[in-house]
């Protein structure tokens, strides 16, 4: 879905195998920059100017690109969908990691499904209580790619508390005997032909994830676009699916500029998830090394107070995510 537009305004088509240096050209009457364009919906595209294309490649599972963008710095693109951008990835990763870790009374070990970029592990390893983080990503090419090109996460990859496993997260969780304080779904979006949609299903949550959580354990997953119009793609049904498995379920969202939308996460547990802003701030001061750039107690309170439209939609959602009745965000994976 991602395309590069050359300076004369003519698209070269697929991003795969692009060999463009991204330098500006002076052509009267035409755009002077190389542009990246992503098709968000059939009638809606999002584009931004590039300084250069740093790297492109492909694995057996996904197509990969690293772009140096003018508005958002380095940006990781997988299967034509922007996954993470240098200037605002902290919003996504702080929201994904810290609410679940802070609601757990004493998190020691965490399992990450996906997370090959390393940013989720980076945020987890800021917590003083953490003894071990297992990061399980199916795609070794993505992990090696991010190790090589994303300098911000080099320390996380070198941390002795991090164990990197290349495997399907379902198979890895099934094979392991240990239980975890927190399990995190930092997976690619569920797209048709992508490698991850089966890890958003009721059977997976019920039969694989929940049995691997310790008493009082918490599961949290990224849950796709959560805007006024986009939340019905997958956010609402992921929320409803988790309500069928866990006693307490908290949806929350935040605006991420490089995604051109509000983004959603869902946190779930059989223990209450009810810390107030002051309690969250206290635990942040006690547990987290350094200061968050985005998330504090008041921010999480705001993030978990959804708009009237989205609240009503989530309350009335009846769809349960299964392999047979999967929902996808707009786009397609390598094997669609």
Q: Which residues contact 293 (CB under 8 A, 6 or more apart)?
A: 90, 94
Which of 141, 85, 94, 91 has the alpha carbon at shortest distance from 122? 94
Token pair 């970029």 in the structure block, residue: 117
CA–CA separation, 216 and 251 (whole Å): 18
Tokens, residue 271:
């223990």
Q: Of 88, 181, 186, 189, which one is the catalytic site residue?
A: 186
Query: What is the C-alpha end-to-end distance of the chain, expressed in Å?
Result: 12
Q: Which residues contact 305 (CB under 8 A, 6 or more apart)?
A: none
Note whether 102 and 287 are within 8 A (CB): yes
> Which element (helix H / strand E) includes 34?
strand 34-41
Q: Per-residue DSSP letters for 249-300?
A: EEEEEEEEGGGTEEEEEEEEESS-----HHHHHHHHHHHBSS--SS--HHHH
Token pair 């978990």 in the structure block, residue: 304
Return left, alpha or beta for 316; rule: phi > 0 is left, psi -120 to 50 is alpha, else beta.
Answer: alpha
Tokens, residue 299:
């921010």
User: Does the active-site annotation cover 63?
Assistant: no
Tell me the catalytic residues.
186
């Amino acid at each position: 879905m991602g395309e590069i537009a050359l300076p004369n305004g003519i698209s070269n088509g697929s991003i795969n195998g692009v060999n463009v240096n991204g330098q500006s050209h002076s052509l009267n009457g035409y755009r002077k920059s190389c542009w990246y364009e992503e098709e968000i919906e059939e009638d809606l595209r999002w584009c931004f100017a590039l300084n250069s294309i740093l790297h492109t490649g492909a694995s057996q599972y996904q197509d990969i690109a690293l772009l140096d963008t003018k508005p958002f710095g380095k940006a990781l693109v997988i299967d034509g969908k922007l996954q993470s951008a240098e200037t605002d990835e902290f919003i996504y990763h702080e929201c994904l990691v810290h609410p679940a870790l802070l609601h757990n009374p004493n998190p020691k070990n965490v399992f990450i499904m996906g997370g090959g970029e390393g940013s989720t592990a980076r945020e987890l390893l800021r917590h003083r209580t953490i003894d071990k983080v297992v990061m399980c990503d199916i795609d070794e090419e993505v992990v090696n790619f991010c190790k090589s090109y994303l300098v911000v996460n080099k320390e996380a990859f070198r941390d002795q508390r991090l164990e990197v496993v290349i495997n399907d997260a379902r198979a890895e969780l099934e094979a392991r005997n240990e239980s975890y304080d927190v399990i995190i779904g930092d997976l690619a979006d569920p797209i048709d032909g992508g490698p991850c949609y089966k890890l958003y299903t009721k059977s997976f949550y019920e039969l694989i994830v929940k049995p691997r959580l310790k008493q009082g354990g918490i599961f949290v997953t990224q849950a796709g676009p959560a805007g006024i119009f986009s939340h019905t793609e997958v956010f609402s049904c992921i929320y409803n699916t988790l309500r069928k498995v866990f006693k307490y379920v908290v949806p929350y969202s935040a605006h991420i500029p490089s995604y051109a939308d509000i983004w959603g996460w869902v946190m779930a547990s059989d223990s209450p998830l009810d810390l107030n802003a002051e309690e969250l701030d206290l635990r942040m001061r006690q547990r987290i090394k350094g200061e968050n750039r985005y998330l504090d107690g008041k921010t999480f309170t705001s993030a978990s107070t959804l708009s009237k439209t989205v609240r009503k939609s989530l309350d009335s959602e009846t769809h349960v995510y299964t392999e047979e009745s999967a929902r996808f965000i707009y786009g397609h994976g390598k094997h669609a």
